[in-house]
Amino acid sequence: MTIAFTFPGQGSQAVGMGKALADAYPTAARVFAEVDDALGQKLSALMWDGPETDLTLTENAQPALMAVSLAALRVLEEKGVSVARDAAFVAGHSLGEYSALAAAGSLSIADTARLLKIRGRAMQAAVPVGEGAMAALLGLSFADAVAVAGEAAQGEICQAANDNADGQVVVSGTRAAIQRAVEIAKTRGAKRAMMLNVSAPFHCALMQPAADAMAEALAGVTIVRPVVPLISNVLAAAVSDPDEIRRRLVEQVTGTVRWRESVQAMAAHGVTRLYEIGSGKVLTGLVKRIVDGVEGVAVNTPDDVEKMVVALV
């Protein structure tokens, strides 16, 4: 059996996430403390006690989700699981790509937390509130969704932001263009087309100021070769060179998250099980819609951790 470790993106956050891990394992508690120290913020208290409105803020949700993923991973490592030995690849959805790199030893946990704080703030600040929007186009192929986005743009920004699975594409751009895309999609056979409740238009050209901020931030951080290849969001292909990883992380801010193709790429290399390490089980649910013969397993509770250890060690 060939496996890969995957890491969730924004939207998987929930008040209380990681608390059971911290209570059960001192190793996990130390990761949350390390993230708190790196940020100079009691992020763990916000994660466990809320309020949800503050946790959902992009600048908090991104490092918080990474913290849960790496807390679970450190416990797994303590119990004998090895990324280098057990995984063929790592991959993460949007911010999850940073978690994947930390898991594979490319970035320290402290640097990853600080980068995600900067990333969250920069993405939120890139576009004035209300000027951008995102929408889910359900039931259309990626090619059809791209065509809808192109027709809706009319000189404004409207592009495919997330290719999550067959028939699940998210578009992002200026509010008026996204509203047009929703209406056009309904005439092109979409099962549903709906505006999303998000705080900014992620993964489109409007995020260029955030990409510039990340280029500057990443330039000052040490990135080392991962112990296993990363499946890059923007390439849907494996990368290991630190300089290329840095470039692709910058491109990722404005580029499409090619998750469907990323999972297909791992399957083409023989991967038959994807362990989703961190909060929620969004990626695990998507696996079933992307490729046959690949199993998704969510790992976010102490019980999940122990089951994964039994399976791999």
Residue 187 has a pLDDT of: 96
Cα 103 to Cα 134: distance, rounded to the nearest angstrom: 30
Residue 37 has a pLDDT of: 98
* Mean per-residue pLDDT pooled into runs of 10, the chain (313 residues): 96 96 98 98 97 94 98 98 98 98 98 98 94 97 97 98 97 98 97 93 98 98 98 98 98 98 98 98 96 96 98 93
Question: Which of 203, 232, 262, 279 is flagged as catalytic?
Answer: 203
Q: Is 203 a catalytic residue?
A: yes
**Strand order through the sheet with 2-7:** 238-239, 230-231, 87-92, 2-7, 271-277, 295-299
Residue 34 has a pLDDT of: 98
Residue 14 has a pLDDT of: 96
Question: Which of 94, 172, 232, 279 is flagged as catalytic?
Answer: 94
Residue 274 has a pLDDT of: 98
Cα 206 to Cα 75: distance, rounded to the nearest angstrom: 39
User: Domains, the chain, ranges and CATH?
Assistant: 2-126+206-312 (3.40.366.10), 132-198 (3.30.70.250)
Q: Is 94 a catalytic residue?
A: yes
Residue 129 has a pLDDT of: 87
